[in-house]
Amino acid sequence: MKGYVSGNRITLLKNGAEYFPALEAAIDHAREHVHLETYIYRDDESGRRIAQALIRAAARGVKVHFLVDGFGSQPLPQQLLQTMRDGGVKVLVYRPETSRWRLRRYRLRRLHRKLALVDSSVGFIGGINIVNDAESPAAPPQYDYAVAVEGPLVGEIFSAMRRLWNIVSWAQLRQVRSRDHRRALPVAPAGKVRAQFLLRDNLRHRRAIERAYLRAIGKARHEIVIANAYFLPGARFRHALVAAAERGLRVVVLVQGRTDHPMANYAKQAFYGTLLQAGVEIYEYQKSVLHAKTAVIDGIWATVGSSNIDPFSLVLSREANVAVYDRGFAGELRASMQQEMDSGAVRILPESLQSLPMHRRFLIWLSYGIVRLLMGMVNYPHNEPKR
């Protein structure tokens, strides 16, 4: 399969309870270098925990690079960043925010990927930010995933992270632009899994993640299961799901029921009628906030990453996913997704749309209109959904 690399071990990590201990342990075993990228970083228990691990690594002589988005992590206190710098961590901010009130198109081009790399031993890819994923110890955590990658795919993660670090560092006049990302990082096989590292940027990989989804959906023969936090698919993606359902496949979409972005939550409901009419099953996750960006197709192809299925992830932001072609991994992820649907999701039935009150319909179409306007600004293909 073109683009897939063999010889990997891929370990599924669910929520911060599994991700943060694995990330911290890997950093504590680092000998040469650590790279960390994230969209949101908070000065909370999780953020301080990882910051201290980075500082400990730097104190051992490890080269530690930390790149954080200037919009997603705008509330991050400068004191914490300075503590990291004082501890030997090299810190850069991607597109720092200088004004909250200036609306420019480039502001939407964010560093949304969540990546970590430790030596040539392990890389992390997923949707989990460096932030407490529960509002309180008694509350259920956000529903999300990451993976730990060992094997040759780590070399591709290294090249991508070093390349972006060099670009940002050069743009901010921190150093002479380096070409070390072109250096191949030799990594021995660690397993038997075939996987592909998928990037989305504004140069060579503008639609790489969307195309990977569309290829997998187009080749599907039995079942498509998608869990995605912000589900606002464009015309191509919607048509692919409808066509799959009309071919007789079971198509399941799990989306947020509880959300911190009301406009996106209302706007996504504008697509419900078209999808339900075609036979797509839609479930809303109610147990906590769904933040996952995952899919399993035919029990053999799976993806985990940072990319939502919306115009901001698929057309604007820097994103990173891993696509895995392996029945063992896909089966584990599929079972985990099913468990969450069984325990925390409600199915949306076609008749429920007919009983929506007028004020709810107004909010749905107002929100969709605003999103559609933003879609037009970024030239994202869309069609009017059926009402």
Distances in Å between the Cα of 273 and the Cα atoms of 13, 85, 228, 277 are 34, 51, 18, 6
Helices (H) and strands (E) in the chain, counts: 12, 15
Question: For residue 99, what are its two tokens?
Answer: 């004004």
Alpha carbon distance 150, 9 (integer Å): 5
DSSP state, residue 258: S
| The one catalytic residue among 293, 310, 326, 382 | 293
Q: Which residue type sits at 81?
A: L
Question: For residue 241, what are its two tokens?
Answer: 């799901």
The separation between the first and the last C-alpha atoms of the chain, rounded to the nearest angstrom, is 40
Cα torsion angle, 83, 124, 126, 112, sign: positive
| The one catalytic residue among 14, 35, 90, 114 | 114
| The one catalytic residue among 112, 144, 310, 326 | 112
Distances in Å between the Cα of 21 and the Cα atoms of 2, 18, 33, 43, 138 are 34, 6, 19, 17, 20
Distances in Å between the Cα of 25 and the Cα atoms of 22, 36, 120, 189, 334 are 5, 14, 15, 21, 27
Answer yes or no: 260 catalytic: no
| The one catalytic residue among 14, 65, 119, 268 | 119
| The one catalytic residue among 69, 201, 298, 310 | 298
Answer yes or no: 359 catalytic: no
Answer yes or no: 293 catalytic: yes
Do the beta carbons of residue 112 and residue 72 sit within 8 Å?
yes
SS3 68: strand
| The one catalytic residue among 14, 35, 90, 291 | 291
Answer yes or no: 63 catalytic: no
Do the beta carbons of residue 126 and residue 49 sit within 8 Å?
no
Alpha carbon distance 352, 269 (integer Å): 12
DSSP state, residue 385: P
Answer yes or no: 114 catalytic: yes
Alpha carbon distance 118, 64 (integer Å): 9
Answer yes or no: 291 catalytic: yes
Alpha carbon distance 208, 206 (integer Å): 6
Residues labelled catalytic: 112, 114, 119, 291, 293, 298
